[in-house]
Amino acid sequence: MAGNTITMDVQRIDPGEGSAPGTLVGIDVDSGQEVQLKAWPDRLSHFSMNQTYKFGWYLGKEYQGTQDMIVSKHGEITQVQSAVNGPNGPQRPVDGLPAAFHEKKAPIPQPPAKTTPQAVMTGSQGTKERSITVLAVMKSVIESGGSEADFDRWLAKHDHIVLGK
């Protein structure tokens, strides 16, 4: 297994039950994507929420169609400063959305014709089209380990951008 490193702003730490590994959830500083890694208790103890760390990871064995990212037992876990976590503590917006959503104002697109594929995926008002949009957002939130509150927030963000609501 090739060694990989990540610089991550830790947002949540979930200890494992019994001998099971725990979970780190945070933002990959380089890509801005939310990531979820498994970590054994001896490694999990090196992390604190709202701090940024650089550490090694690897892909675990596939289990029931899922392949987890796992914090490496080898190598250092180094706390670093990032643009998000400066010397005065966390700088991330309070509501938890990635900073990019707070810095940019997306232009409100003109409503496309409802017969195009783009219209179907970006906010047509028909029941079928709305269901497709809701399911797509739901799938993304579930796959990233998000909560129902995360789903509601992302769906509201979608509606605000696409529908101007």
Alpha helices (H) in 31-147, listed in sequence order: 41-44, 99-103, 117-121, 127-143
Which homologous superfamily is 4-88 in? Nucleic acid-binding proteins (2.40.50.140)
Where do the structural domains in the chain lie, given as residue ranges?
4-88, 105-163
pLDDT tens by residue, 30-72: 888 999 999 988 898 899 999 999 999 988 888 788 888 889 9
Q: In the predicted model, what is the mean pLDDT of the chain?
A: 75
Per-residue pLDDT for 98 more than 50?
A: no
Alpha helices (H) in the chain, listed in sequence order: 41-44, 99-103, 117-121, 127-143, 148-163
Token digits of residue 128: 């079928």
3-state DSSP call for residue 16?
Answer: coil
For residues 50 and 138, what is the distance between their CA atoms, to the nearest angstrom? 26
Give the residue among 24, 54, 146 at the shortest CA–CA distance from 96: 146
pTM of the model: 0.48
pLDDT at 101 (0 to 100): 43
